[in-house]
Structure 1
Amino acid sequence: MADDWRNGGFGLYIHWPFCEAKCPYCDFNSHVSKKIDQKQWLTAYLSELRRAASETPGRVLNTIFFGGGTPSLMDPETVSDVIDEARALWHPSNDMEITLEANPGSVEAGRFAAYRDAGVNRISMGVQALNDEDLRRLGRIHTVTEARAAFDIARACFDRVSFDLIYARQHQTPEAWRTELNEALSMAVDHLSLYQLTIEDGTAFGDRYAVGKLRGLPEDDSAADMYLITQDICEANGLPAYEVSNHARAGAESQHNLTYWRYGDYVGIGPGAHGRVTLNAQRYATETYLNPQRWLDAAERGNGEKDRTLLSYEDQANEYLMMGMRISEGLNIDRWETLSGRKLPKNTIDHLSEIKMIEHSNDRLRATADGRAVLNAVIRELLS
């Protein structure tokens, strides 16, 4: 079990916490700052990389993911130096995937060629809507025209480009979503991340919703229809769901995110970044300081990590189940039972199979299309 992480691989997540503006639906650790000393941040990132590598020597690094925030506001030189250091500290895989999240603004798009030259080989773009009125409601500072232009620039620089869309937005109907999704699929995209709008506490939308000022949200049945429309249209266009909210042509799946869902190890660096790292045959959950300045100060002192929690084998088994059931390939039953030290509950498996929520064949357990639509309930049953 000391090598269980190898089933999912080894990745590196770098969190850049800054944005030009804070979107009202966003509950990520993102901040607006007028002045950012990129050299200081680079020094902190490099220090944390070296600390993490000293604990995980000799590993093959499969993926790097720059998330945020808005990493496309990072200087290309900063990105390049982080990539070069990671390559020097670990053994880069021959087909290492290096993803950078980007917004479709003109500043970020103008840097795409420089990011490519730095080593980035995949862009994940936060488009969110192909409707200017809805972009305004979502607090986005780009237009549809700018998003399309940025996508074209990205496509010219990178073989792999994904973008995000949010559905079940205010005043959106299932038919309007159908039209918008077909428009997105016409853009020669090979990966789409399609998320239902959720109202999170602590966000501007959450505050408005609490006082009854967030009007026009679709009813549950309408939102459920949009989910089903998403599955049908993407499947028909050759981008089936390989994860609950992610659709891709064969071979275009996000390898970094699959590291999470296959329950591999990953180092998390930057404010609020989480990680899962196996050290001396024990697996730990890691967490860094959330506040950017506090993380920066701690990293400069030699350790930006806030907490390190030892995970029991039962904890690991439960996390593996919760992650593995999200993907279409499902989870390996033998692996789960080795981690947990027990068998999956036969009565529950039989019941969920009978009502066609899961498929149980050979050494795999996976959710059906119907099961993924109510996945939280299926997972609760399996963990009960």
Structure 2
Amino acid sequence: MARALYIHWPFCARKCPYCDFNSHVRESVDHAAWQAALIADMRHEAQIAGGEPLQSVFFGGGTPSLMPPALVAALLAEAERWWGFAPDVEITLEANPSSVEAARFEGLAAAGVNRVSLGLQSLEDSALKFLGRLHNSAEALAALKLAHKRFNLVNADLIYARPGQTPADWRDELSRALDLGTGHLSLYQLTIEPGTRFATDVRLGAFAPLEDDPAADLFALTRELTAAAGLPAYEISNHARPGEESRHNLAYWRYQDYVGIGPGAHGRRRGSATVRHKKPENWLAAVAERRHGIAEERSLAAREQASEALLMGLRLAEGVDLARLSERLAVPAEELVDPARLQFHTSLGLVRQEGTRVFVTDAGMPLLDALLGELVPVELVAA
């Protein structure tokens, strides 16, 4: 089974108003202390789940492009020492396109990063201001151009279904993004997450989110334009040229083992789930005391693993092979998906079957959350 390593860097220059990720703003960061703690957390995992070369490493956050390249290089050297790297290992780092961070690209590439995921979020200055971003569209385009020069693989994030956004607006913006030649686009609808500043703004009437039907129209337009440009959707929000799909994220969606280190990081290894302490200071204290940052570790029953595998795998265009999942987890195939609901939603064109493989169709993807609640039996989720 493929092995993936996730390293969480929790710090940002500013907290974006839509973001509910584990990100924090601090006046200063002791990079030497963080390097030592991340290495200790990594060693703990390697001693438990070592032995197989890493297929991918992903630096997420937060804003990992704020990390000094020397720190990235040290962590990669440690990971390679403990696990080894596959010959074609994919090493991704999330970055924001401010000029200060873009200047780090050469050092990050020299450290071993070969794929960058760039948080453009929009090509419109007014939208970037609304989204609370620190960069403007000119800086975004300059950073993307530099990323293409420095890294073998590049992803760009964009947020759509913004308040008041029309199909004509999104068609123009997405078409310009596609013309930039990036081989992977992560295109996310704006969602109002609890606990964010946007959630407060909506509650106070500062703005109204785009309604469901117009958002669904933009989703359909997104699929149409990306497919025509040769970047079909391989996951509900991710589009790539064939061969440029994110190997690391595929490990999650295919429910393969992955190790997560750093504050708030989740992991799945050998049938167990791990969760690290979320607050940076608490994570550091835990590592100092126990040489790892784990807040919770528990064994997952086969049926819970099956539920997670379905919830993740049905996001993918490739769907889920029920026979293979049944064999892997020793859960009868007929118990994985409610047969009556599967037949019903197949008749509506929201789901399709090919042999033992089940797919959510393009028509069903906008309704994915509701479909998952219908298809995955309650007793399987609750088991």
**Which TM-score bucket, shorter chain as reference?**
over 0.9
Note the alpha carbon deviations across 1:303-349, whole angstroms, 9 max, x for none: 20000121110000000000110001111111332322341433222
Q: Aligned match of 2:307 in 313, 318, 327? A: 318
Establish whether residue 364 from structure 1 lines up as the match of residue 352 from structure 2.
no
Question: Which position in structure 1 is the counterpart of 2:339?
Answer: 346
CA distance in 1, matches of 2:158, 2:182: 12
Note the alpha carbon deviations across 1:73-94, whole angstroms, 9 max, x for none: 0000000000111011003111
Aligned partner of 2:298: which letter?
T
Aligned partner of 1:228: which letter?
A
**Shift in Å, 1:33:** 0.8
Please say if residues 173 and 218 of structure 1, whose CA atoms lie closer than 8 Å, have aligned partners that are also in contact: no
Aligned partner of 2:305: which letter?
Q
Secondary structure of the structure 1 residue equivalent to 2:163? coil
CA distance in 2, matches of 1:117, 1:159: 12
**Shift in Å, 1:26:** 0.5
Question: Which position in structure 2 is the counterpart of 1:74?
Answer: 67
CA distance in 2, matches of 1:193, 1:159: 17
Aligned partner of 1:136: which letter?
K
Question: Which position in structure 2 is the counterpart of 1:28?
Answer: 21
CA distance in 2, matches of 1:164, 1:57: 32
Question: Which position in structure 2 is the counterpart of 1:111?
Answer: 104
Aligned partner of 2:263: which letter?
P
Q: Report the TM-score when normalising by structure 2.
A: 0.95
Please say if residues 322 and 333 of structure 2, whose CA atoms lie closer than 8 Å, have aligned partners that are also in contact: no
Question: Which position in structure 2 is the counterpart of 1:336?
Answer: 325
Please say if residues 60 and 93 of structure 1, whose CA atoms lie closer than 8 Å, have aligned partners that are also in contact: yes
Establish whether residue 264 from structure 1 lines up as the match of residue 256 from structure 2.
yes
Question: Which position in structure 2 is the counterpart of 1:299?
Answer: 287
Q: Aligned match of 2:221 in 222, 229, 248? A: 229
CA distance in 2, matches of 1:130, 1:342: 46
CA distance in 2, matches of 1:82, 1:248: 28
Secondary structure of the structure 1 residue equivalent to 2:165? coil
Question: Which position in structure 1 is the counterpart of 2:95?
Answer: 102
Question: Which position in structure 1 is the counterpart of 2:124?
Answer: 131
CA distance in 2, matches of 1:284, 1:72: 30
CA distance in 2, matches of 1:170, 1:346: 39
CA distance in 1, matches of 2:313, 2:366: 15
CA distance in 1, matches of 2:51, 2:100: 38
Q: Aligned match of 2:265 in 247, 267, 273? A: 273
CA distance in 1, matches of 2:186, 2:202: 25
Please say if residues 286 and 293 of structure 2, whose CA atoms lie closer than 8 Å, have aligned partners that are also in contact: yes
Aligned partner of 2:323: which letter?
D
Q: Aligned match of 1:247 in 230, 239, 252? A: 239
CA distance in 2, matches of 1:87, 1:303: 19
Question: Structure 1 stretches (4+) deviating beyond 4 angstroms?
Answer: none
Aligned partner of 2:204: which letter?
V
Q: Aligned match of 1:218 in 210, 214, 230? A: 210
Question: Which position in structure 2 is the counterpart of 1:3?
Answer: none
Secondary structure of the structure 1 residue equivalent to 2:363? helix
Q: Report the TM-score when normalising by structure 1.
A: 0.95
CA distance in 2, matches of 1:75, 1:253: 27
CA distance in 1, matches of 2:168, 2:240: 22
Q: Aligned match of 2:298 in 282, 303, 309? A: 309
Question: Which position in structure 1 is the counterpart of 2:380?
Answer: none
Secondary structure of the structure 2 residue equivalent to 1:329? coil
CA distance in 1, matches of 2:50, 2:42: 12
Q: Percent identity?
A: 47
Note the alpha carbon deviations across 1:25-48, whole angstroms, 9 max, x for none: 110011111110111000001111
Please say if residues 322 and 358 of structure 2, whose CA atoms lie closer than 8 Å, have aligned partners that are also in contact: yes
Question: Which position in structure 2 is the counterpart of 1:377?
Answer: 370
Segments of 5+ residues of structure 2 without an aligned counterpart are: 378-383
Aligned partner of 2:272: which letter?
Y
Aligned-pair Cα RMSD in Å = 1.1
**Shift in Å, 1:222:** 1.1
